[in-house]
Amino acid sequence: MTKLRNIAIIAHVDHGKTTLVDAMFRQSGTFRENQAVAERAMDSNELERERGITILAKCTSILWNDVRFNIVDTPGHADFGGEVERILSMVDGVLLLVDAAEGPMPQTKFVMMKALKQGLRPIVVLNKADRPDARADEVLNAVFDLFVALEATDEQLDFPVIYASAKEGWAIKAPGDEKESLTPLFRIIAEHVAPPKGDVNAPFSMLVTTLEADPYLGRILTGRVTSGAAQVNMPVKTLNHKGEIIEQSRLTKILAFRGLKREAVDRVEAGDIVAVAGLEKSTVADTICALEVNTPIPALPIDPPTLVMTFSINDSPLAGREGAKVTSRVIRDRLLREAESNVAIQIHETADRDAFEVAGRGELQLGVLIETMRREGYELSISRPRVVYQTDPKTNERLEPMEEVQIDVDDEFTGVVVEKMGTRKGEMKDMRPSSGGKTRIVFIAPARGLIGYLGEFLTDTRGTGVMSRLFHGYAPHKGAIEKRRNGVLISNGSGKAVAYALNNLEERGVLFINPGDEVYEGMIIGENSRENDLEVNPLKAKQLSNVRAAGKDEAIRLTPPRIMTLEQAMSYIGDDERVEVTPTAIRLRKAMLDPNARKRESRKQED
- For the chain, give the mean pLDDT: 83
pLDDT band of 455, cuts 50, 70, 90: confident
Half-sphere exposure for 336 (CA within 13 Å, toward CB): 8
Please state the rounded mean pLDDT for residues 254-261. 81
pLDDT band of 546, cuts 50, 70, 90: low
Ranked by mean pLDDT, which of 84-93, 301-310, 363-372, 577-586 comes out on top? Answer: 577-586
- pLDDT of 30 over the 80 cut: no
- Percent of the chain predicted with pLDDT > 90: 31
pLDDT, residue 40, reads 38
Residue 509 annotated as binding site: no
Give the pLDDT confidence of 36-71 residue by residue, as tens digits: 443 433 434 454 344 444 334 467 888 888 888 888
Distant-in-sequence, close-in-space partners of 415: CB < 8 Å, separation ≥ 6: none
Q: What is the DSSP letter of 550?
A: G
Please state the rounded mean pLDDT for residues 126-144. 89
Helices (H) and strands (E) in the chain, counts: 15, 35
Domains and CATH numbers, the chain: 3-192 (3.40.50.300), 205-289 (2.40.30.10), 390-476 (3.30.70.240), 488-606 (2.40.50.250)
- pLDDT of 374 over the 60 cut: yes
pLDDT band of 33, cuts 50, 70, 90: very low
- Percent of the chain predicted with pLDDT > 70: 88
The Cα–Cα gap between 252 and 273 comes to 17
What is the CB neighbour count within 10 angstroms for residue 177?
Answer: 12
The Cα–Cα gap between 21 and 29 comes to 12
- pLDDT of 313 over the 90 cut: yes
- Report the alpha-carbon angle 112-116-118, nearest 5: 120
Residue 348 annotated as binding site: no
pLDDT, residue 491, reads 93
Please state the rounded mean pLDDT for residues 116-140. 89
Please state the rounded mean pLDDT for residues 93-119. 84
The Cα–Cα gap between 95 and 8 comes to 6
List the one residue out of 75, 94, 80, 99 whose CA is nearest residue 16.
99
Greater pLDDT, 21 or 271: 271
Greater pLDDT, 433 or 45: 433
Ranked by mean pLDDT, which of 395-399, 405-409, 578-582 comes out on top? Answer: 578-582
pLDDT, residue 316, reads 92
Alpha helices in 248-287 (DSSP H): none
Residue 183 annotated as binding site: no
Greater pLDDT, 330 or 54: 330
pLDDT, residue 29, reads 65
Give the pLDDT confidence of 211-238 residue by residue, as tens digits: 777 778 888 888 889 999 999 999 999 9
pLDDT, residue 476, reads 92
The Cα–Cα gap between 69 and 83 comes to 20
Please state the rounded mean pLDDT for residues 373-401. 90
- pLDDT of 404 over the 80 cut: yes
pLDDT band of 439, cuts 50, 70, 90: confident
Cβ-count burial of 258 within 10 angstroms (0-12 exposed, 13-18 middle, 19+ buried)? middle
Half-sphere exposure for 196 (CA within 13 Å, toward CB): 26
The torsion defined by the Cα of 11, 12, 13 and 17, in degrees rounded to 10, comes to -20
Please state the rounded mean pLDDT for residues 589-604. 87
Residue 15 annotated as binding site: yes
Helix (H) or strand (E) holding 562: none
pLDDT band of 465, cuts 50, 70, 90: confident
Greater pLDDT, 209 or 577: 577
pLDDT band of 88, cuts 50, 70, 90: confident
pLDDT, residue 11, reads 79
The Cα–Cα gap between 16 and 126 comes to 10
